[in-house]
Chain A
Amino acid sequence: MKVIVTATAPELEAAVDPRFGRGAYFIAVDTDTLKWQAHENPAVNASGGAGSQAAQFVARQSADAIISGDFGPNAYLALAAAEAKMYLLGPSQTVEEAVANFVAGELVRVEAPTGAGHHGGR
């Protein structure tokens, strides 16, 4: 199974990044082999629309699950349209822990946007 975790650095041991649209890196991890690949988030410095831009990028990686601390309304709608499954980091501190917690079935599935958005609007 392939999962993507938002992270502050391109490492499996890196601290998780609680932000989705403006998280620094997306780490794609194979849950069976723990082989991983880091992608820079192309939307990290976007002037606006980071959530929808990051979601398009992540959706193209066709992961089985996306794990982050926050999915704003635009990111949520975009990932939901791509039929991606979203999970919250919960207590996970590192990418490795997030993957382990996911495999153990301890992460909560996201069924609605978790924040009010960051664009100053509703």
Chain B
Amino acid sequence: MRIAVASGKGGTGKTTVATSLALSLAQGNPHSRAFPAPVFLDCDVEGPNAHLFLAPQFDRQQDVVILIPRVDAAKCTACGKCAEVCEYHAIAVLGKKTLVFPQLCHGCGSCTLVCPEGAISEEPHVIGLLEGGVTAGGMAFARGVLNVGEPMATPAIRQLKKWAIPADAPDGSVVILDAPPGTSCPVVEAVRGADYLLLVTEPTPFGLHDLRLATEVASELGIPAGVVINRDGIGDAGVDEFCVAAGLPVLMRIPFDRAIAEGIARGRTLIEVRPEYRARFRAVLAEIGKGTRRSR
């Protein structure tokens, strides 16, 4: 089962929820068949931070490589077919010159395929790094780190998922994907293929605004979703009213609690600060299990 944790709004507590959700599985009973150790993916490749809480030992890595076109000026006739096919305007024909903009390129290879002159070859361009390892609790952990200055997060997330999610995962195993904030391409790439989307929000107008957008992403992708309300007690009733109207289950409320905030600021997890959350997160997992079954 793949559970993606996303939010729309940044700073609502995605990583707080994702790390403790994972730990509630990993540190209970490692031999329990009901709760096998999960795989954790930090998909926020522009600002990964889950490692600060789960402290994995990284023991393997792989470059994130995309193939970008190189144009042989001697063969190019400036026909413009490559520029027409490029969805991202990463290759442009201007007069007799064909220009490549590596930072706009998604590495899809369409330009190479359509070039009638065979003038385009592809060369590897490293945009980031994938790192994998194991936490002290025996949880498999992987993250992607986009190189500073590279704007293209999506290929790094796609390659992270391919690299780190075992193809032969046993039934009942859980993969937790900590998504980037927002609702744009990197979020879609992170949550695509998930069985459940856990949306973390806060009960403020800003939280509600972005929760609405995130709910639309879930519905567009056909992923069942539920909500965690963090900093419960601040703001107003708008988020609760929205959840009722939209039929979104509120699976957990985390109060606005100074001790939790201080613990997180020191790199401790919610479960470490408030051990009673272990059972609460397991209850959330059980609800999620029902939610995904209902949808099938």
Contacts and interface: CB of A to CB of B under 8 A. Distances in A.
Contacts of A83: 95
A118 B268 CA distance: 36
Which 6 residue pairs spanning A and B have beta carbons closest together? Answer: A49-B89, A121-B151, A82-B94, A122-B149, A53-B89, A81-B94
Interface of A: 43, 46, 48-50, 52-53, 55-56, 59, 74, 77-79, 81-83, 119-122
Nearest to A117: B103
Interface of B: 83, 88-90, 92-95, 97, 99, 101, 103-104, 149-151
A85 B244 CA distance: 58
A48 B99 contact: no
A81 B95 contact: yes
21 contacts: A48-B88, A48-B104, A49-B104, A52-B101, A53-B89, A53-B92, A55-B92, A56-B89, A56-B92, A56-B94, A59-B94, A59-B95, A74-B104, A77-B99, A77-B101, A78-B92, A79-B94, A81-B97, A81-B99, A119-B151, A121-B103
Nearest to B102: A121
Contacts of B89: 43, 46, 48-50, 52-53, 56
Contacts of A119: 103-104, 151
A21 B6 CA distance: 32
B199 to A, nearest CB: 23
Contact of A74 (B83, B93, B101, B150): B101
B90 A49 contact: yes
Contacts of B149: 121-122
Contacts of A120: 151
Contact of A121 (B83, B99, B150): B150
B99 A49 contact: no
A120 B146 CA distance: 12
B189 to A, nearest CB: 14
A55 B91 CA distance: 12
B111 to A, nearest CB: 13
Contacts of B93: 56
B94 A78 contact: yes
Contacts of A55: 92, 94
A49 B94 CA distance: 15
A48 B150 CA distance: 14
